[in-house]
């Protein structure tokens, strides 16, 4: 009798019984190492030629291979029926990245720019951070939380590419406010100990004081300095350089001040390097030294781990392995290893096996495979975004049905508009404006869709009036033609040839009328095609840039901070 909780931890290994059975069948039919007699004699004569000892030996070999294969697969399947208690350890560390988006981060003393290189380094840092929670804060004159503390670092990577210095409404450089926002984020999450990484090129005495305050709360502050001591001008969108007081601004890296922030905050200072990843590796390793990086759960909870018995079956394979060195058996085992492996129907990076579905989906979205990303995403918002990018507008709108935020209604309106359901798109935009009246993008798209609907209605009315006019004109022409035929029948006494000629003439008139009708149809088709192109151009103007959504969110948060008494502008425009 098996224990009540007997089961296999990896039962999928038993699928390999199929190729094992195929191999045994192949060997039973004499597929390997035939003797000389077997090569020249018919199969039905072999029992009269070969001795019983050879046949029995072959059967024993096959039984040996089958028993060894069955034992190996059973061991790999992981038989278990007993539990062992094991204490639970969880990485409770928290890591907040505060990224400077002031205009000085556009300086090009580090190519392609300070901000671009900083984004690359943050991506590398996230890839080296194996566990724990991570958050992203951006700042210039004010600081804003872009991604709160989360285990899904992929969400931060997706936002990174949208971060530019023109996202924030007010410029300046207040790293002390970024540190305050990061500290408040850790405090609200109830994190006993955490790390903050300040990614910037500037710091001042206020930042040093705030770092000291955070260190007293067991929140360490480290700094990644971005830039060079010589600095570089800051390019503008117009192609010129940023000026102040008539002079070109050349912001340099404030290395000494940044190092003081790190020392006061109990962290480390590293300058962004152009080659290698030593800077990122040092910061990642430092974060792992946090007291909360590897702590046992406070409630001393334990999880039960199954005790696997599979390795004991390997002891039974030892005598079978010794017998495998007999002639023929070793060759059969080699044949089993040389069987062609099954080919997958699609190319997939083997690293995907170590990624969660959402991470695989994000990678697919970055590679341009929106269809695969839509299948893999589990988060409804990201799934809808992938469906939208793939052109599956109706599916994207359906995915967003279960969500009720202002941005969700706005995105649903975009999907419905491109899917051709303009009435529902108008309803979605209006719902988004009810939830968020200052949503300028929703108002803009609503006006566009309403213009399209008005244009379509006008085209339908004009088309109906044109068809009515053509019908009336055709009826008048028919009556005139019939009157002419009656007059011709009363006055004309020509021969049948003349009648035939008249009929031919009537036929020609009919053909001419048909040609006119065909020309009218072509003109209508062309007009309809032009109308559809105009409508398509309207729909293309619908704004669906996720970066604009983030920018609107930051502007909204900035207004709230201003109403709460925050400063409107910084001490400098960079």
What are 30-41's pLDDT values in tens digits?
Answer: 644 445 555 556
Residue 414 to residues 392, 465, 467, Cα–Cα distance (Å): 12, 33, 34
Q: What is the mean pLDDT of residues 291-303?
A: 51
533 band by pLDDT with thresholds 50, 70 and 90: low
SS (H, E, C) 513-537: HHHHHHHHHHHHHHHHHHHHHHHHH
Interatomic CA distance for residues 202 and 214, integer angstroms: 19
Task: Identify the pLDDT of residue 476.
Answer: 59
The first and second tokens of residue 47, run together, are 């029992």
Largest CA distance in the chain: 121
First to last CA, the chain: 77
- pLDDT for 287 beyond 90: no
496 or 112, higher pLDDT: 112
95 or 302, higher pLDDT: 95
Residue with tokens 């990174």: 160
Q: At what angle do helices 406-419 and 380-389 cross, to 10 degrees?
A: 30
Of 337, 340, 332, whose CA–CA distance to 64 is shortest? 332
Task: Report the range out of 279-283, 312-316, 440-444 with the highest average pLDDT.
Answer: 279-283
The first and second tokens of residue 506, run together, are 């009537």
What's the whole-number average pLDDT of the chain? 76
Of 456, 428, 458, whose CA–CA distance to 441 is shortest? 428
- How many C-beta neighbours within 10 Å does residue 301 have? 10
293: three-class secondary structure by DSSP: coil
Task: Report the range out of 70-84, 223-237, 491-505 with the highest average pLDDT.
Answer: 223-237
What are 534-558's pLDDT values in tens digits?
Answer: 555 655 555 555 566 677 777 767 7
What are 310-364's pLDDT values in tens digits?
Answer: 888 877 777 766 665 554 444 444 444 444 444 433 344 444 555 677 778 777 8
Structural contact between residues 184 and 159, judged by C-beta atoms closer than 8 angstroms? no
Task: Identify the pLDDT of residue 263.
Answer: 96
- pLDDT for 469 beyond 90: no
199 or 59, higher pLDDT: 199
Share of residues in the chain with pLDDT > 70 (%): 66
Structural contact between residues 309 and 79, judged by C-beta atoms closer than 8 angstroms? yes
CA 523-524-530 angle, 5° bins: 90
Range in 25-29, 231-235, 362-366, 533-537 the model is least confident about: 533-537
Interatomic CA distance for residues 268 and 126, integer angstroms: 18
The first and second tokens of residue 236, run together, are 């503008």
Interatomic CA distance for residues 561 and 146, integer angstroms: 15
For the chain, domains (ranges, CATH) are: 7-87+305-337 (no CATH), 94-296 (3.40.50.410), 391-467+537-565 (1.25.40.10)
157 or 497, higher pLDDT: 157
Interatomic CA distance for residues 103 and 116, integer angstroms: 13
Interatomic CA distance for residues 242 and 141, integer angstroms: 17
- pLDDT for 496 beyond 50: no
CB half-sphere exposure, 11, CA atoms < 13 A: 4
Of 528, 503, 539, whose CA–CA distance to 425 is shortest? 539
The first and second tokens of residue 154, run together, are 């992929």
Strands 79-87 vs 302-308: parallel, antiparallel or unpaired: antiparallel
Q: What is the mean pLDDT of residues 387-401?
A: 89
- pLDDT for 445 beyond 90: no
246 band by pLDDT with thresholds 50, 70 and 90: confident
The first and second tokens of residue 465, run together, are 């009036």
Task: Identify the pLDDT of residue 6.
Answer: 83
């Amino acid at each position: 009798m098996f224990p009540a909780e007997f089961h296999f931890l990896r039962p999928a290994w038993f699928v390999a019984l199929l190729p094992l059975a195929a191999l045994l069948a192949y060997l039973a039919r004499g597929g390997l190492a035939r003797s000389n007699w077997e090569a020249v004699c018919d199969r039905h004569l072999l029992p009269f030629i070969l001795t019983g000892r050879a046949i029995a030996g072959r059967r024993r070999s096959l039984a040996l291979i089958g028993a060894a294969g069955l034992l190996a697969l059973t061991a790999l399947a992981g038989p278990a029926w007993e539990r062992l208690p094991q204490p639970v350890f969880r990485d409770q560390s928290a890591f907040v990245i505060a990224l400077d988006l002031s205009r000085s981060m556009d300086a090009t003393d580090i190519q392609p720019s300070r901000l671009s290189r900083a984004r690359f380094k943050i991506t590398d840092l996230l890839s080296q951070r194996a566990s724990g929670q991570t958050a992203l804060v951006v700042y210039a004159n004010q600081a804003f939380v872009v991604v709160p503390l989360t285990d899904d670092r992929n969400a931060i990577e997706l936002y990174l590419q949208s971060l530019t210095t023109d996202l924030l409404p007010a410029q300046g450089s207040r790293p002390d406010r970024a540190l305050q926002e990061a500290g408040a984020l850790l405090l609200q999450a109830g994190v006993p100990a955490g790390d903050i990484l300040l990614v910037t090129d500037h710091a001042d005495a206020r930042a040093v004081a705030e770092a000291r305050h955070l260190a007293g709360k067991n929140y360490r502050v480290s700094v990644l300095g971005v830039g060079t001591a010589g600095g570089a001008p800051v390019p503008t969108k117009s192609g010129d350089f940023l000026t102040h007081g008539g002079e070109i601004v050349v912001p340099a890296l404030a290395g000494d001040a940044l190092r003081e922030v790190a020392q006061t905050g109990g962290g480390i200072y590293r300058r962004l390097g152009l080659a290698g990843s030593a800077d990122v590796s040092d910061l990642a390793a430092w974060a792992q030294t946090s007291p909360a990086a590897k702590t046992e759960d406070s409630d001393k909870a334990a999880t039960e781990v199954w005790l696997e018995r599979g390795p004991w079956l390997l002891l039974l394979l030892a005598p079978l392995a010794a017998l495998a060195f007999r002639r023929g058996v070793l060759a059969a085992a080699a044949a089993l290893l040389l069987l062609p492996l099954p080919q997958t129907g699609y190319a997939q990076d083997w690293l995907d096996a170590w990624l969660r579905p959402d991470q695989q989906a994000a990678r697919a979205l970055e590679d341009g495979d929106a269809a695969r990303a839509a299948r893999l995403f589990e988060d409804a918002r990201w799934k809808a975004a992938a469906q939208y990018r793939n052109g599956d507008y109706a599916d994207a709108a359906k995915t967003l049905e279960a969500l009720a935020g202002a941005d969700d209604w706005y995105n649903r309106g975009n999907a419905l508009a491109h899917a051709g359901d303009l009435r529902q798109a108008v309803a979605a935009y209006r719902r988004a404006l009810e939830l968020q009246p200052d949503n300028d993008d929703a108002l803009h798209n609503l006006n566009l869709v309403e213009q399209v609907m008005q244009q379509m209605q006008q085209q339908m009315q004009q088309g109906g009036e044109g068809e009515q006019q053509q019908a009336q004109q055709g009826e008048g022409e028919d009556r005139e033609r019939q009157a002419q035929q009656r007059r011709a029948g009363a006055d004309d006494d020509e021969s049948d040839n003349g009648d035939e000629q008249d009929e031919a003439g009537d036929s020609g008139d009919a053909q001419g009328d048909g040609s006119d009708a065909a020309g009218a149809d072509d003109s209508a088709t062309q007009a309809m095609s032009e109308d559809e192109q105009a409508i398509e151009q309207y729909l293309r103007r619908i704004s669906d840039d996720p970066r604009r959504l983030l920018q609107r969110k930051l502007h909204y948060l900035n207004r709230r901070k201003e109403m709460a008494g925050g400063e409107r502008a910084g001490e400098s425009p960079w």
